[in-house]
Protein backbone atom coordinates (compact mmCIF):
# COMPACT_ATOMS: atom_id res chain seq x y z
CA UNK A 1 0.00 0.00 0.00
CA UNK A 2 1.24 3.55 -0.72
CA UNK A 3 2.43 5.54 2.28
CA UNK A 4 -0.02 8.20 3.55
CA UNK A 5 0.80 11.85 2.73
CA UNK A 6 3.04 13.50 5.38
CA UNK A 7 0.24 15.76 6.64
CA UNK A 8 -1.98 12.70 7.19
CA UNK A 9 0.58 10.67 9.12
CA UNK A 10 -0.01 12.36 12.53
CA UNK A 11 -3.73 11.61 12.24
CA UNK A 12 -2.97 8.02 11.28
CA UNK A 13 -0.69 7.59 14.31
CA UNK A 14 -3.33 9.15 16.61
CA UNK A 15 -5.88 6.75 15.12
CA UNK A 16 -3.62 3.73 15.79
CA UNK A 17 -2.79 4.98 19.29
CA UNK A 18 -6.48 5.43 20.15
CA UNK A 19 -7.23 1.87 19.01
CA UNK A 20 -4.36 0.46 21.09
CA UNK A 21 -5.45 2.33 24.22
CA UNK A 22 -9.12 1.37 23.71
CA UNK A 23 -8.17 -2.22 24.62
CA UNK A 24 -6.75 -1.19 28.02
CA UNK A 25 -9.88 -2.16 29.94
CA UNK A 26 -10.01 -5.49 28.11
CA UNK A 27 -6.43 -6.32 29.14
CA UNK A 28 -7.23 -5.33 32.73
CA UNK A 29 -10.30 -7.58 32.81
CA UNK A 30 -8.44 -10.53 31.31
CA UNK A 31 -5.58 -10.13 33.80
CA UNK A 32 -7.93 -11.51 36.49
CA UNK A 33 -5.93 -9.92 39.30
CA UNK A 34 -6.55 -7.51 42.16
CA UNK A 35 -6.82 -3.88 40.91
CA UNK A 36 -3.68 -2.88 42.78
CA UNK A 37 -1.75 -5.82 41.34
CA UNK A 38 -2.84 -5.27 37.73
CA UNK A 39 -2.05 -1.55 38.05
CA UNK A 40 1.38 -2.38 39.49
CA UNK A 41 2.37 -4.73 36.68
CA UNK A 42 1.07 -2.28 34.08
CA UNK A 43 3.45 0.47 35.20
CA UNK A 44 6.26 -1.92 36.18
CA UNK A 45 6.39 -3.58 32.75
CA UNK A 46 5.66 -0.22 31.13
CA UNK A 47 8.60 1.39 32.92
CA UNK A 48 10.87 -1.39 31.62
CA UNK A 49 9.71 -0.88 28.03
CA UNK A 50 10.06 2.90 28.34
CA UNK A 51 13.49 2.53 29.95
CA UNK A 52 14.70 0.61 26.90
CA UNK A 53 13.32 3.35 24.61
CA UNK A 54 14.98 6.09 26.68
CA UNK A 55 18.25 4.15 26.76
CA UNK A 56 18.26 3.69 22.98
CA UNK A 57 17.56 7.40 22.54
CA UNK A 58 20.33 8.24 25.08
CA UNK A 59 17.99 10.29 27.25
CA UNK A 60 19.05 9.07 30.70
CA UNK A 61 20.34 11.66 33.19
CA UNK A 62 20.39 12.34 36.94
CA UNK A 63 17.55 14.34 38.52
CA UNK A 64 17.80 17.23 40.94
CA UNK A 65 16.05 17.04 44.33
CA UNK A 66 13.21 19.24 43.08
CA UNK A 67 12.74 17.11 39.98
CA UNK A 68 12.73 13.95 42.08
CA UNK A 69 9.99 15.29 44.37
CA UNK A 70 7.90 16.31 41.34
CA UNK A 71 8.33 12.86 39.79
CA UNK A 72 7.24 11.22 43.06
CA UNK A 73 4.14 13.43 43.19
CA UNK A 74 3.38 12.55 39.57
CA UNK A 75 3.83 8.86 40.31
CA UNK A 76 1.54 9.05 43.35
CA UNK A 77 -1.24 10.69 41.31
CA UNK A 78 -0.82 8.08 38.58
CA UNK A 79 -0.87 5.22 41.12
CA UNK A 80 -4.15 6.41 42.67
CA UNK A 81 -5.61 7.05 39.22
CA UNK A 82 -4.80 3.54 37.99
CA UNK A 83 -6.04 1.88 41.18
CA UNK A 84 -9.38 3.74 40.96
CA UNK A 85 -9.78 2.92 37.27
CA UNK A 86 -8.87 -0.77 37.59
CA UNK A 87 -11.22 -1.11 40.58
CA UNK A 88 -13.97 0.70 38.67
CA UNK A 89 -13.60 -1.80 35.82
CA UNK A 90 -14.34 -4.66 38.22
CA UNK A 91 -17.61 -3.02 39.31
CA UNK A 92 -19.05 -1.45 36.13
CA UNK A 93 -17.04 -2.97 33.27
CA UNK A 94 -14.26 -1.57 31.07
CA UNK A 95 -16.55 0.36 28.71
CA UNK A 96 -18.35 2.58 31.19
CA UNK A 97 -15.25 2.94 33.39
CA UNK A 98 -13.31 4.27 30.38
CA UNK A 99 -16.04 6.73 29.39
CA UNK A 100 -16.27 8.15 32.91
CA UNK A 101 -12.48 8.33 33.16
CA UNK A 102 -12.53 10.62 30.11
CA UNK A 103 -14.39 13.20 32.19
CA UNK A 104 -10.85 14.40 32.94
CA UNK A 105 -11.46 16.72 29.96
CA UNK A 106 -13.81 18.79 32.11
CA UNK A 107 -11.51 18.76 35.13
CA UNK A 108 -8.54 20.00 33.09
CA UNK A 109 -10.62 22.74 31.46
CA UNK A 110 -11.93 23.95 34.83
CA UNK A 111 -8.38 23.99 36.21
CA UNK A 112 -7.26 26.04 33.20
CA UNK A 113 -10.05 28.56 33.81
CA UNK A 114 -9.76 28.82 37.61
CA UNK A 115 -5.98 28.78 38.02
CA UNK A 116 -4.50 29.87 34.69
CA UNK A 117 -7.10 32.38 33.52
CA UNK A 118 -7.66 30.60 30.23
CA UNK A 119 -10.67 31.68 28.20
CA UNK A 120 -13.08 29.04 26.97
CA UNK A 121 -15.99 28.91 24.57
CA UNK A 122 -19.52 29.15 26.07
CA UNK A 123 -20.18 25.66 24.68
CA UNK A 124 -18.21 24.25 27.63
CA UNK A 125 -21.01 25.21 30.01
CA UNK A 126 -23.34 23.09 27.88
CA UNK A 127 -20.96 20.15 27.61
CA UNK A 128 -20.74 19.49 31.35
CA UNK A 129 -24.47 18.96 32.09
CA UNK A 130 -24.75 17.16 28.74
CA UNK A 131 -22.08 14.68 29.88
CA UNK A 132 -23.93 13.89 33.10
CA UNK A 133 -27.22 13.58 31.21
CA UNK A 134 -25.59 10.98 28.98
CA UNK A 135 -24.16 9.22 32.03
CA UNK A 136 -27.58 9.04 33.66
CA UNK A 137 -29.05 7.58 30.48
CA UNK A 138 -26.39 4.86 30.59
CA UNK A 139 -26.74 3.94 34.27
CA UNK A 140 -30.44 4.73 34.67
CA UNK A 141 -32.24 7.45 36.63
CA UNK A 142 -33.06 5.20 39.60
CA UNK A 143 -29.82 5.60 41.52
CA UNK A 144 -31.24 3.88 44.61
CA UNK A 145 -31.92 0.68 42.66
CA UNK A 146 -28.27 0.24 41.71
CA UNK A 147 -26.15 -2.13 43.75
CA UNK A 148 -23.57 -0.78 46.20
CA UNK A 149 -20.77 -2.16 44.02
CA UNK A 150 -22.12 -0.48 40.89
CA UNK A 151 -22.41 2.86 42.66
CA UNK A 152 -18.89 2.41 44.00
CA UNK A 153 -17.71 1.82 40.42
CA UNK A 154 -19.27 5.13 39.32
CA UNK A 155 -17.57 7.00 42.17
CA UNK A 156 -14.26 5.32 41.40
CA UNK A 157 -14.62 6.30 37.73
CA UNK A 158 -15.12 9.93 38.72
CA UNK A 159 -12.12 9.70 41.06
CA UNK A 160 -10.16 8.34 38.10
CA UNK A 161 -10.96 11.48 36.10
CA UNK A 162 -9.81 13.66 39.01
CA UNK A 163 -6.50 11.90 39.69
CA UNK A 164 -5.77 11.37 35.99
CA UNK A 165 -6.04 15.14 35.58
CA UNK A 166 -3.62 15.64 38.47
CA UNK A 167 -1.23 13.14 36.86
CA UNK A 168 -1.36 14.92 33.48
CA UNK A 169 -0.79 18.32 35.08
CA UNK A 170 2.25 17.15 37.06
CA UNK A 171 3.67 15.27 34.06
CA UNK A 172 3.26 18.41 31.97
CA UNK A 173 4.97 20.42 34.71
CA UNK A 174 7.94 18.04 34.63
CA UNK A 175 8.36 18.53 30.89
CA UNK A 176 7.83 22.29 31.00
CA UNK A 177 10.23 22.81 33.90
CA UNK A 178 13.05 20.82 32.37
CA UNK A 179 13.10 20.65 28.58
CA UNK A 180 15.92 18.09 28.83
CA UNK A 181 13.40 15.54 30.14
CA UNK A 182 11.91 13.90 27.06
CA UNK A 183 8.51 12.27 26.74
CA UNK A 184 9.87 8.71 27.01
CA UNK A 185 12.12 9.51 29.97
CA UNK A 186 9.46 11.54 31.79
CA UNK A 187 6.80 8.87 31.39
CA UNK A 188 9.32 6.19 32.38
CA UNK A 189 10.11 8.08 35.60
CA UNK A 190 6.41 8.58 36.36
CA UNK A 191 5.70 4.87 35.69
CA UNK A 192 8.58 3.75 37.91
CA UNK A 193 7.45 6.06 40.74
CA UNK A 194 3.88 4.81 40.32
CA UNK A 195 5.12 1.19 40.50
CA UNK A 196 6.88 2.07 43.77
CA UNK A 197 3.68 3.38 45.39
CA UNK A 198 1.52 0.55 44.04
CA UNK A 199 4.08 -1.98 45.28
CA UNK A 200 3.85 -0.47 48.76
CA UNK A 201 0.05 -0.69 48.56
CA UNK A 202 0.32 -4.39 47.72
CA UNK A 203 2.67 -5.00 50.64
CA UNK A 204 0.40 -3.26 53.15
CA UNK A 205 -2.82 -4.79 51.79
CA UNK A 206 -1.46 -8.33 51.76
CA UNK A 207 -2.59 -8.92 48.16
CA UNK A 208 -0.87 -11.66 46.18
CA UNK A 209 1.84 -10.72 43.69
CA UNK A 210 1.15 -13.87 41.69
CA UNK A 211 -0.03 -13.61 38.08
CA UNK A 212 -2.56 -16.45 37.67
CA UNK A 213 -1.57 -18.01 34.35
CA UNK A 214 -0.29 -17.28 30.86
CA UNK A 215 -3.40 -15.39 29.67
CA UNK A 216 -3.22 -12.90 32.58
CA UNK A 217 0.53 -12.52 32.03
CA UNK A 218 0.03 -11.89 28.31
CA UNK A 219 -2.76 -9.41 29.09
CA UNK A 220 -0.58 -7.44 31.50
CA UNK A 221 2.30 -7.40 29.00
CA UNK A 222 -0.04 -6.16 26.26
CA UNK A 223 -1.44 -3.54 28.65
CA UNK A 224 2.07 -2.27 29.37
CA UNK A 225 3.39 -2.47 25.81
CA UNK A 226 0.45 -1.32 23.69
CA UNK A 227 -1.42 0.96 26.12
CA UNK A 228 1.25 2.29 28.45
CA UNK A 229 4.03 2.62 25.86
CA UNK A 230 3.21 2.44 22.13
CA UNK A 231 -0.30 3.93 22.25
CA UNK A 232 0.80 6.88 24.35
CA UNK A 233 3.90 7.43 22.21
CA UNK A 234 1.90 7.50 18.98
CA UNK A 235 -0.63 10.00 20.35
CA UNK A 236 1.78 12.23 22.27
CA UNK A 237 4.24 12.62 19.42
CA UNK A 238 1.51 13.23 16.82
CA UNK A 239 -0.83 15.64 18.63
CA UNK A 240 1.37 18.74 18.15
CA UNK A 241 1.43 18.07 14.39
CA UNK A 242 -2.32 17.48 13.92
CA UNK A 243 -5.33 19.76 13.55
CA UNK A 244 -6.81 19.88 17.10
CA UNK A 245 -10.47 19.52 16.05
CA UNK A 246 -9.77 16.48 13.85
CA UNK A 247 -7.44 14.94 16.43
CA UNK A 248 -10.13 15.41 19.08
CA UNK A 249 -12.65 13.50 16.98
CA UNK A 250 -10.18 10.66 16.44
CA UNK A 251 -9.39 10.51 20.16
CA UNK A 252 -13.08 9.88 20.84
CA UNK A 253 -12.49 6.45 19.32
CA UNK A 254 -10.75 5.41 22.52
CA UNK A 255 -13.78 5.59 24.90
CA UNK A 256 -16.22 4.69 22.09
CA UNK A 257 -14.34 1.55 21.10
CA UNK A 258 -13.77 0.63 24.76
CA UNK A 259 -17.55 0.53 25.24
CA UNK A 260 -18.06 -1.40 21.99
CA UNK A 261 -15.42 -3.99 22.99
CA UNK A 262 -17.21 -4.36 26.34
CA UNK A 263 -20.48 -5.11 24.54
CA UNK A 264 -18.96 -7.44 21.93
CA UNK A 265 -16.49 -9.34 24.12
CA UNK A 266 -18.21 -9.42 27.52
CA UNK A 267 -21.85 -9.28 26.34
CA UNK A 268 -22.61 -6.11 28.28
CA UNK A 269 -26.42 -5.68 28.14
CA UNK A 270 -27.10 -2.31 26.51
CA UNK A 271 -30.49 -0.87 25.57
CA UNK A 272 -31.18 1.69 22.85
CA UNK A 273 -31.55 4.40 25.52
CA UNK A 274 -28.13 3.52 26.90
CA UNK A 275 -26.58 3.76 23.42
CA UNK A 276 -28.14 7.21 23.13
CA UNK A 277 -26.51 8.04 26.48
CA UNK A 278 -23.13 6.85 25.20
CA UNK A 279 -23.48 9.05 22.11
CA UNK A 280 -24.51 12.10 24.15
CA UNK A 281 -21.61 11.60 26.55
CA UNK A 282 -19.07 11.28 23.73
CA UNK A 283 -20.42 14.45 22.10
CA UNK A 284 -20.13 16.24 25.45
CA UNK A 285 -16.52 15.06 25.85
CA UNK A 286 -15.68 16.35 22.38
CA UNK A 287 -17.29 19.72 23.15
CA UNK A 288 -15.29 19.84 26.37
CA UNK A 289 -12.07 19.13 24.45
CA UNK A 290 -12.79 21.86 21.88
CA UNK A 291 -13.91 24.49 24.41
CA UNK A 292 -10.57 26.35 24.51
CA UNK A 293 -10.58 29.50 22.42
CA UNK A 294 -8.15 29.40 19.45
CA UNK A 295 -6.32 32.52 20.62
CA UNK A 296 -5.60 30.98 24.04
CA UNK A 297 -5.25 27.34 23.12
CA UNK A 298 -1.86 26.03 24.21
CA UNK A 299 0.26 23.72 22.13
CA UNK A 300 -0.68 20.12 23.06
CA UNK A 301 1.81 18.56 25.41
CA UNK A 302 3.46 15.20 24.86
CA UNK A 303 1.55 13.31 27.52
Q: Rounded CA gap, 251 and 263, in Å?
A: 20
Task: Give pLDDT tens digits for 137-182.
Answer: 998 877 778 899 999 999 999 999 999 999 888 888 777 765 666 7
Task: Give pLDDT tens digits for 2-20.
Answer: 555 555 788 888 889 899 9
Q: Provide Rg for the chain, Cα atoms.
A: 19
Range 123-139 burial, b when 16+ CB lie within 10 A, else e = ebeebbebbeebbebbb
pLDDT score of 88:
96
Residues in the chain: 303
**pTM assigned to the model:** 0.87
Helices (DSSP H) in 140-271: which residue ranges?
A: 148-177, 183-205, 214-222, 232-238, 244-251, 253-266
Q: Which sequence spans correspond to the domains of the chain? A: 8-289
Residue bearing the bigger pLDDT, 214 or 61: 214
Amino acid sequence: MPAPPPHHRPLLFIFIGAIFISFSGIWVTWSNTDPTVSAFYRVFFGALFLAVAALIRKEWRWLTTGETLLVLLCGLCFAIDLYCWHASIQFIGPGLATIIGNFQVFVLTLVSVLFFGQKIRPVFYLSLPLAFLGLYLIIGFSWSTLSADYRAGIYLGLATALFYSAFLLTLRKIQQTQQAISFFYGLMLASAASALFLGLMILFSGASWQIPGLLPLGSLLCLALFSQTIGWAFIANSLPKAIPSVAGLILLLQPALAFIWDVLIFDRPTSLLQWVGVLITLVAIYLGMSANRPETRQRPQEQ
